[in-house]
Amino acid sequence: MPRPEGRSVPLTPARRMIAELMRACRGVPAVVAERRMDLADVAAARRAAGGPRWAAVFARGFALVAADTPALRRSYLSFPWGRLYEHAEPAAAVTVEREYRGEVVVFPARLRRPHLRPVADLDADLARAKDGPPGEVPGFRRWMRAARLPGPARRLALWLALHASGRLRGKHVGTFGVTTVGGAGAGLVRVLTPLTATLHFGLLDPAGRLDVRLTFDHRVFDGATAARALVALEDSLRGAVRDELRRSAARAA
């Protein structure tokens, strides 16, 4: 009986873009900080408010912290020399999975000014990014347009967005990231990211506790800053964000 053989599977444009993003992560000295948070009351408020995505909840909470913490709004730029750029305000890049032409595509959806917008607005943006017409999702259009460029042009475009201009980096990439596979039943212990800071988390335990991790660029800030950021994030989630969700639930009642 002949032995079964595998087959070569060509990279689609979307997979090529993920490969380029992973290439861009090389050389980033990423460190991970972790905090177990008690979010039972936040989870209850979220359910009462109609269940907005946890990614929107965390983007709102971290943006409030970053707005008051300059270190969390800084990026390392390498061109024309190594330096830090401090963004005027936070902008979130949230990983979104959607189907496109029979393929599951992952791309970063950028949320503008998340420190000034309610969770419901951020959640609506993520819903459009996931399920809206592809041509009407600006971040998705840019992602797929870049994915179809020749390899050298893709790498140059991504490199310029990340390293040449702080203004362009904030506009097109964001200042921090949020990613989770909790909806698929697991969590990511480690992520590769070219951003200064990326939040990732998994599933709440029965008591409402959640292990929240912050992967950060050690060139931009240190471990103690990351630890304080996670403490401040828990305070933000259990304070301003929870209260906002409760008000939203009360208005809908």
Q: Say if residue 224's pLDDT is above 80.
A: yes
pLDDT, position 175: 96
What are the structure tokens assigned to 71, written together?
């270190």
Q: Are 106 and 14 in contact (CB under 8 A)?
A: yes
Residue 230: pLDDT band with limits 50, 70, 90: very high
Tell me if 184 is assigned to some domain.
yes
Q: Are 111 and 124 in contact (CB under 8 A)?
A: no
Residue 2: pLDDT band with limits 50, 70, 90: confident
Q: What is the mean pLDDT of residues 169-196?
A: 92
Q: Say if residue 253's pLDDT is above 80.
A: no
Q: Strand pairing partners for 36? A: 211
Residue 190 one-letter amino acid:
R
Q: What is the mean pLDDT of residues 8-13?
A: 90
pLDDT, position 49: 97
Report the percentage of the chain scoring pLDDT > 70.
100
Can you give the CATH number for the domain in which 98 is found? 3.30.559.10
User: Can you give the length of the chain in residues?
Assistant: 253
**Domain range for residue 116?**
13-252
pLDDT, position 134: 87
Q: Say if residue 1's pLDDT is above 80.
A: no
CA distance 212 to 200: 6
Tell me if 4 is assigned to some domain.
no
Backbone angles phi, psi at 195, to 5 degrees: -80, 160
Tell me if 151 is assigned to some domain.
yes
Tell me if 160 is assigned to some domain.
yes
pLDDT, position 74: 97
Looking up tokens 């828990």 gives 234
Cβ atoms < 10 Å from Cβ of 163: 19
Q: What is the mean pLDDT of residues 144-166?
A: 90
Looking up tokens 């409402």 gives 208
Tell me if 52 is assigned to some domain.
yes
3-state secondary structure the chain: CCCCCCCCCCCCHHHHHHHHHHHHHCCCCEEEEEEEEECHHHHHHHHHCCCCCHHHHHHHHHHHHHHCCHHHHEEEECCCCCEEEECCCCCEEEEEEEEECCEEEEEEEEECCCCCCCHHHHHHHHHHHHHCCHHHCHHHHHHHHHHCCCHHHHHHHHHHHHHCCHHHHHHHCCCEEEEECHHHCCCCCCCCCCCCEEEEECCCCCCCEEEEEEEEECCCCCHHHHHHHHHHHHHHHHHHHHHHHHHHHHHHC
Q: Strand pairing partners for 106? A: 97
pLDDT, position 183: 86
pLDDT, position 23: 92
Q: Which has more pLDDT, 248 or 164?
A: 248
CA distance 219 to 76: 7
Average pLDDT, the chain: 94
Give the orientation angle of helix 40-48 with respect to helix 242-252, to 10 degrees.
30
Give 72-104 pLDDT, tens digit per residue: 999 999 999 999 999 999 999 999 999 998 899
| Angular region, 208: left φ>0, alpha ψ -120 to 50, beta rest | left
Domains identified in the chain, total number? 1
Residue 124: pLDDT band with limits 50, 70, 90: very high
pLDDT, position 42: 98
Q: What is the pTM of this model?
A: 0.94
Tell me if 46 is assigned to some domain.
yes
